[in-house]
Amino acid sequence: MDTLDRKAEEPYEPYAALGLGGPRDTPFVKYKHPRIDNVWALTLTAVLFILLYSAQDVVPVIRLPHDVGSPALPAAEFDWYALETSKEVNWTSCYDGHLCARLLLPLDYLSSDADGPTTAIALRMIPAPSRGTADYRGTVLVNPGGPGGSGTNLVERAGANISRIVGHSFDVLGFDPRGTGASTPRVECFASPGERDIWKTQVGHQFLNASDHTLGIYRAREQVVAAKCEQAIGGELGIARFMSTASVATDMVKITEELGQEKLHYWGFSYGSILGQYFAAMYPDKVARVIIDGVYDGDNYRGALWNSNLADMEAVMDSLFSYCHQAGPLRCALYESTPDKIRDRYFRVLDRLARNPVAVPLAEPPAVLTRKALITQLFASSYKPLASYGTVVDTIRAIETRNQTTLTALARKIVDPTECSCSSGVLPWLAENDAFNAIACGDGEEHPYDPEYYAKYYDALVKDSPHGGPIWAVHYLQCAEWRVRPQWRYTGPLAAADTAHPLLLISPRYDPVCPLRDALAVRERYPGAGLLVQNSHGHCSLSAPSLCTAKHVRAYMEDGTLPEEGTVCEADELPFVGSVSDVRALSVDERELLEAMRGLSAVVPMFGGL
């Protein structure tokens, strides 16, 4: 069967008012996941002081940190690598009221050697205000996406707001999946951040096109990265061979067990939705509360296809022009009498740049603004319109008026800066990594490059999104050239007929890279799962503040309550327009929830992490 073929979809009645459609006959397979024998056992040493029972779950035992009273180091001084590693979770006070640990887990879950190689998984937790009381419900693990995003960094930037949303009954724990962030060993193919930056500059100022010379350039670049990674991290015990999503899902089992929990509480974004699908399929009996937010079709992911993502990309990009028009001339500097006229104005500037790029000599470092740079800027801003659309408008207006002062200030938000320095000043656990290839391509089916197939593939992507397709089409090449295969990858059905508790899926109506149709397809494979649609533009629910969404998340986490079939939540704040809700009518708790959602709009997961 041609994998480029698209299955016809019937209208999905509960969401008919939004014009949504979805598959109604996607099969699921009930199966028993084979047990993994000889897995290294973790020893729990916590003091058991209370077990509280709900209808579904046992409230976990709490292990207190060994030095929780010691002063925490400032973020810039905290050294993850100096933190002791252990085969049990030994918390240390860190940052400002947080707890950190490095948990040793087996590198190879298929190995029978209990004393074999390990990986140190970095954990960072915000303790629940209710710890030690009858209200305490346990720990929620969070994943920011990527693949390759740092969960510990997500807690740094968004943990307090996530904690407010899930409620005071839960700890919030971010972990760095094996090979990423502060977990060691790290997946690094380049000798230094400077070497990586220099390498990125060589891609040039033209988009990938399957029908001209750029294809050869982009493909050769992926061959270079694949060869470097194979040499650096692809050996017998190289970390790239042990980063499969199956291994990370099993790591989550071990982490929850170490915390004294029988089942998983989880909120995963973007690629985190893939991790959630794997977990629910592999360990359906260990699902307590699992939210997958910004849902990518796991079957498409595991096929290493990356061709279902852009169905709504153009609609999200075009929303910039609609919101600008709705906001009016006082709030949007590109205002015209219709959204189409604003769109034409935007692309007139881009067409001029195609012929005459704009030099910004006083920027640090100096920059040249090209059509590719501005399309890439719009592509990235589609992930978080509320936080980023203003910068797009400021950029276009500055080019129109030849305002070099503004362009100088904006340059770093338009063109990725490159700095040639022996010491980048970036903490190693925050540095860019090569996790996408190791995880996504390792999880995927092997598909050697085929020029005829790729030409059709590229055309189909560009048909879905003329502006996003040339950017997204590189991911197929990444996996086509990738050489390192994982020691273990899960190949069973990404489905489960009987999870211990139903999953909750959350999807914006228009998500640039995880379209609603993917969420509808995934929901069919997990019978009983709930689907919450947020009527907004952007990546994951975080991209648009919605009190309605926050309330449903809180209800699901605290009581296990799913939204009614067909539930659609509206956004409370829109790009350029601002607030569209009456805050005065809200209770104190509702205001706190809405402010927490607003705080998350700037930390929307980006491709490859945050």
Residue 434 is assigned to a structural domain of this protein? no
365 lies in the same domain as 395: yes
pLDDT confidence bin for 169, thresholds 50/70/90: very high
User: What is the three-state SS of 452-519?
Assistant: HHHHHHHHHHHHHCCCCHHHHCHHHHHHHHCCCCCCCCCCCCCCCCCCCCCCEEEEEEECCCCCHHHH
223 and 181 assigned to the same domain? yes
pLDDT category at 604 given cuts 50, 70, 90 is confident
Work out the percent of the chain whose per-residue pLDDT is above 70. 86
User: Do 502 and 518 reside in the same domain of the chain?
Assistant: yes
Residues 152, 291, single domain; the answer is: yes
Residue 190 lies in a domain: yes
Q: What pLDDT score was predicted for residue 75?
A: 58
Whether residues 196 and 276 share a domain: the answer is yes
Give 595's DSSP letter.
H
For residue 197, the model assigns a pLDDT of: 86
Same domain, yes or no: 500 and 595: yes
Structure token pair of residue 461: 């992507």
CATH code of residue 534 = 3.40.50.1820
User: Half-sphere exposure of residue 223, counting CA atoms within 13 Å on the CB side?
Assistant: 8
The whole-chain average pLDDT of the chain stands at 88
CB 108 within 8 A of CB 117: yes
- Give how many domains the chain has, as a whole number: 2
Task: pLDDT band for 14, please (50, 70, 90 cuts).
Answer: low
Residues sharing a CB contact under 8 Å with residue 544, sequence separation 6 or more, in sequence order: 385, 386, 508, 534, 536, 537, 538, 571, 573, 574, 601
Q: With contact defined as beta carbons under 8 Å apart, do 52 and 67 qualify?
A: no
Contact 316, 392 (CB under 8 A): no
Q: What is the structure's pLDDT at 416?
A: 79
What is the Cα–Cα distance from 566 to 539, expressed in whole angstroms? 20
Question: Is residue 468, in this structure, part of any structural domain at all?
Answer: no
- Asked which of 366, 391, 413 is the last residue of a domain, the reply is 413
- CA 317, CA 375: separation in Å to the nearest integer? 10
d(CA 40, CA 37): 9
First to last CA, the chain: 36
Please indicate, yes or no, whether residues 503 and 541 belong to a single structural domain of this protein: yes
The whole-number average pLDDT for the span 4-25 is 48
Both 287 and 334 in one domain: the answer is: no
Section 256-277 average pLDDT: 98
- Whether 93 has a pLDDT exceeding 80, the answer reads yes
Average pLDDT in the 314-326 region? 98
Query: Is position 95 within any domain?
Result: no
Measure the CA–CA gap between 563 and 158, rounded to whole angstroms: 24
pLDDT of the residue at 602: 83
Whole-number Å distance between alpha carbons of 436 and 176: 14
**Range of the structural domain that residue 350 is part of:** 312-413
Looking at this protein, which amino acid is placed at residue 519? Answer: A
Do 241 and 126 reside in the same domain of the chain?
yes
| Dihedral (Cα; 585, 589, 590, 592), 10-degree rounding | 110
Residue 228 belongs to a domain: yes
Residue 538 pLDDT exceeds 70? yes
Task: Write out pLDDT tens, residues 23-57.
Answer: 333 332 333 333 333 434 333 333 333 333 333 34
- Distances 335 to 326, 376, 393, 576 between C-alpha atoms, Å: 9, 22, 10, 11
pLDDT at 76: 59
- The arithmetic mean of pLDDT across residues 562-566, rounded, is 97
Residues 327 and 223 in one domain: no
According to the model, what pLDDT value does residue 18 have?
63
Whether 111 is in a domain gets the answer: no
What is the Cα–Cα distance from 586 to 591, expressed in whole angstroms?
A: 6
Specify whether 132 is located in the same domain as 267.
Answer: yes
User: Which helix or strand (DSSP H or E) is residue 85 part of?
Assistant: strand 85-86
Mean pLDDT, range 132-156, rounded to an integer: 95
For the segment 314-337, the average pLDDT, to the nearest whole number, is 98
Segment 132-143 shows an average pLDDT of 96
Tell me the two tokens of residue 154. Answer: 């997500």
Q: Between 201 and 608, where is the model more confident? A: 201
Choose one of 398, 413, 428: the last residue of a domain. Answer: 413
Tell me the pLDDT tens digit for each residue of 421-452. 555 567 889 888 999 999 999 999 999 999 99
Report residue 395 as tokens. Answer: 């950029």
Confidence (pLDDT) at 431:
87
Answer yes or no: is 300 within a domain: yes
Among 357, 389, 413, the domain boundary falls at 413
Structure tokens at 31: 């199966």
Residue the block writes with tokens 């307090």: 160
Bond prior to 144 in cis (omega within 30° of 0) = no
Based on the fold, state whether residues 305 and 316 are members of the same structural domain. Answer: no
The answer to whether position 447 is within a domain reads no
Mean pLDDT over 576-602 rounds to 94
406 Cβ contact partners less than 8 Å away, ≥ 6 residues apart: 394, 397, 398
- Predicted confidence band at 194 (pLDDT cuts at 50, 70, 90)? confident
Q: Which pair of structure tokens corresponds to residue 370? A: 């090209």
Q: What is the pLDDT of residues 64-85, one digit of tens each?
A: 333 333 344 555 578 999 999 9
To 10 degrees, what angle do helices 339-355 and 371-381 make?
A: 140
pLDDT of 344 higher than 50: yes
Contact residues for 233 (Cβ-Cβ < 8 A; gap 6+): 185, 187, 188, 189, 239, 240, 434, 438, 484
